[in-house]
Amino acid sequence: MIGYWTRRPAGIVVGITGFNYPLLLASHKLAPALAAGCPIIIKPAPNTPLTTLWAVDLIREVLREHGVSPYTVQLVTGDNAVGEALVRDPRVAVVSFTGSAAVGHQIARDAAPRKVVLELGANTALIVGSDADVESAVDAVIRGAFYANGQACISVQRILVHDAIADEFEHMLLARLPEVLVGDPRHDSTRVAPLITEASTARILAWITAARPAGPEFSPAAIWSTAASPRPC
């Protein structure tokens, strides 16, 4: 018996991206599709379409220069209804999605039995054991919890610290928080800027309000409002 396989383009790809890294996430879908010889329809997040529009325009110019049809790369903007129409279209061979877990699971159901590539959100925990390098762990929180204003699926969203070093960890973390400057994203020193929408801000504030009756401790310095110039959180 002889067995063999060949690599062949799967067919039309639909790429649906998130808002937090519009160029990077679009590249994750555009580059593999083109490398495999597949035409692709990219749908950027409704809040951040401009970067992807610019990228697609550049890619289409390069395709023309190399004798490839620019229509190999298409872009469609719109809301969830547009995404649903693309995902459910039987002519689509592969759906690549970056976003929330709930939407990703729905896409997997709608696209079945066709192929899906899902990069979904999470509730990432940083676990600090009793034998940890506390200074390094605190540094990981400062870097990992605040980049992209926390709007990233791999940001540090929960911290689980062993009792034996909890006090030391908390003391060191509070001492480092003044490094996290809040303000205009155009300033080099700014570490945290406004969230993507007012609705996102309201959702976070609602979480804080709901958590208070459970008895957590809130430092007044840990809650801030956005200002024109950077300020520590």
For 197-229, the pLDDT digits (tens) are 999 899 989 988 888 888 776 554 443 333 334
pLDDT tens per residue, range 82-104: 999 999 999 999 999 999 889 99
First to last CA, the chain: 68
Residue 223 pLDDT? 39
Structural domains of the chain, with CATH: 12-120 (3.40.605.10), 123-179 (no CATH), 182-233 (no CATH)
Three-class DSSP category at 119: strand
What are the angstrom distances between the C-alpha of 89 and each of 99, 105, 203?
20, 17, 33
**pLDDT above 90 for 117:** yes
Give the residue numbers marked as catalytic: 119, 153
